[in-house]
Structure 1
Amino acid sequence: MQPGRNKGLYHHIRQTGWTYATIAEKVNDLVERATGRRGLYTEESIRRLVNGSVSWPQLRYRNALCRLFDTSTDELGLIDNRTSRNTTAREVDVDRQEFLRGIAVASALAALPRPHTQPDMRRTAPSRPRTVGIEHAQHVNAWAGVFRQADDAGHGLSEGMSAQLHLATQYLEATMTPPVERKMKAAVATLYRVVGWSHYDRGDHATALQDFSEGWRLVSDDGPWWLRTALLTCMARQAIYLDRLDDALDKLGIAAIRADKLSLLRRADIAAVKARAFGQQGNRRECIRAVIEAESLFAEAQGEDHPDLCEEGFGAYYSEKLLASDLAQGLFALSFKRGIELEHTFERLATARSLSDEHARSRLLSTTQLAALHLRFGDVDEGVDLATSVLTDAKGTTSARVVDDLRRIYQLTTTPRIRTCAPVAALRTETKALLSTL
């Protein structure tokens, strides 16, 4: 029987445009880098791989080929004829089908109509496979995307997140090629970040910090810069919330240390978080400087074509309204405490209120702050109307941040300036009643 042409490898070679001789030299370079001894591949060696005469090269050459084309042995069409291929294929297929069934469960959970539903996914979690490929990393990224969308919209899926994170970490123990390992680490780190953010929003700060730290450990050495930045900005946001401002600014400094590797939009995100830190610090000059920097970078980023914008759909995700919500957080601290920059804060909070249901939690947080600002410095009737709408939207919330903002509104209704107003008295009673249920 004549050997079959290796279409996988041939396809990857055609995409690069390299000659067989060039590929052989690059493989030999990678072998030398990994083992200290130069490889012995020639143009004929590559030709024999392509025509199928050799289907399973030695380990050092397999690893080098996987690194060179940044993919797996499966994608390169490399097959070990010495083992029972049918048995292996069945095992891997079962693993993948179980994982796909899990994905279907997550998609259904994300669509649940009741935000406070907390499903138990432990019974549906697939078992750990012995071998994983690129598609497993893609599935972990898909889970992270589903959970992030559900969390942004205010859906409570924390148990499902934890179950899937446990499974994803087990994948790191499976057998995989070096390129797959890099992608898997990035995927699991992304999931750690999403789960950590959910714990942070619920007020479980110790678990959130542990999640963020585990994600950082996976990518801190050679992970993608956009992901390192995303983890650091999440940790910085948490540190700001906990009033650990020096820690937050240190992390933001690390996030921006290689700004040349980041898109302008991600740099705008870093600047927006800086505005939060300086606003909480009471540093008006630096807060305004960071606001201007963020808005300038955002404007400059329009039409930008940078690879990291495709990651997690960030180019479409970080909209002008979401930026306004971010910047309003920093300005709010200045305005509420000192009564300064009120016009700019009112403007940005009003913009953030028009966020879609996909960002329901950010919209709710912006509305509570706008209500608080009106009750303290602005139109009291407007503040009451906004706060009343918040009470409706916040029923059943699991967000500790929203609850903290509701407590602020309640405290404001007791201030001498407005507490005797009939609408304020009614708001105070309704707010107290809601807080007793959360």
Structure 2
Amino acid sequence: MLTAFSLSAVAIPALIVANAPPIIAVEQRIAQAPRRVIPPAELPPVEPIAFVAVSPDDAQTFNASIPFSTAPNLPARPFRITGSEADIARAADCLTAAVLYEAGDDTEGQRPVAQVVLNRVRHPAFPKSVCGVVFQGAERRTGCQFTFTCDGALRRRYSDAAWERARAVATAALKGYVDKSVGTATHYHTNWVVPYWSSSLDKIVEIKTHLFFRWTGWWGTPPAFRGRYLGAEPAIAKLASIAPAHAEGALADAANDGEAAASIETAALPAPTAADPDSFLVTLDPRLAPAQWSGWALRLCGDRPYCKVLAWTDAAETPATATTDARTMERVAFSYLRDNARGFDKALWNCDRFERPDLAQCMKARVFLPSTRRADDFRLEMLPGSGLRSALGVRPGIAEGAREPVLDLGGVRRRGDPPPEKAEQPAAAKPPIVGPARPPQSP
């Protein structure tokens, strides 16, 4: 009896193990952003990039499970850069760094990266300069839009030959070359990582080890790419050691005492106004050159979808709160306004004080008519920021109340001038009598 009990104690567990039900493998579920088609009235958010913690093998398996979009892959419009020589050189350096450090020394892989950068420049959700797009979020240690800008990769130098090959790709893209393979893609990632946004966008193409995506719905179609290129490229301190254009721009003109100028990345960032966290009334760092103000404003605004900056050069003139005072407003040196909801992104300078190569970057004339001044004393060339003082030769420093000699504009009647006398009209002459034409005579 004892023997039988002992045998059953051994046999029964053995039978259970031998006939156990099959173990079904449960795939690891990856938390992803919900898929949502954003309506045209709502601007898509640009979040700091973050990756799901999975192994490269699991990442490739998950990425393969996301189907490609079946909607047409329409090409982007050609991008042709404009602006000063310095701005164009900085844009080329930023785009060169992006294609080289993102795709390596591989021309075929670099062209799609360049296209994505320029697609972002045109999209209302992103900054409106090439360097602004490439280095968006670079002030963070993690979460920048292009990982090479914040992970220390720029400390590694490529050969001069590799840089020149990448620069040829960047220059071609800035002069109108379009990589049609990626269409209107604004996002991409390598196949061995999984960003949280990957399943919420349309996957459109795979090129080597990179997957390319566009926003779903209208925001991924060509009409959405209506943003205007700002044309003012900031100097990037992180590129100063490898790109001469940024080495020259990182330092502005020295002050009279020889003090070194601040770079955009080291200049102080004032707090917004107490009444509006998206508005800034600031005094410009005197060590920053006027060409650097737009890049500094981009850094000041950060990722805000709406941001307004009004800047003065003198702290005594800078108001603490919003004002409509004419004297204060006419001393504004620089302004910047971003309104992503309306696709607006614009930097303007007071061109009466700070020359710009493009009049489109000048502030429009503000019409302020103080009550102590007669309306017929108003002259357009005296308005701040219009750029007409220098164009018309109006002397700066004219005493208050003094008047310039009035320009002699022929044919223009001014207030107080007598009406012109009517000239007597001569009597109409009778038309001559013309007889029938004589036939031509041969020589």
If the length of structure 1 is used for normalisation, what is the TM-score?
Answer: 0.25
Larger radius of gyration: 2
Higher relative contact order (CA 8 A, sep 6+): 2
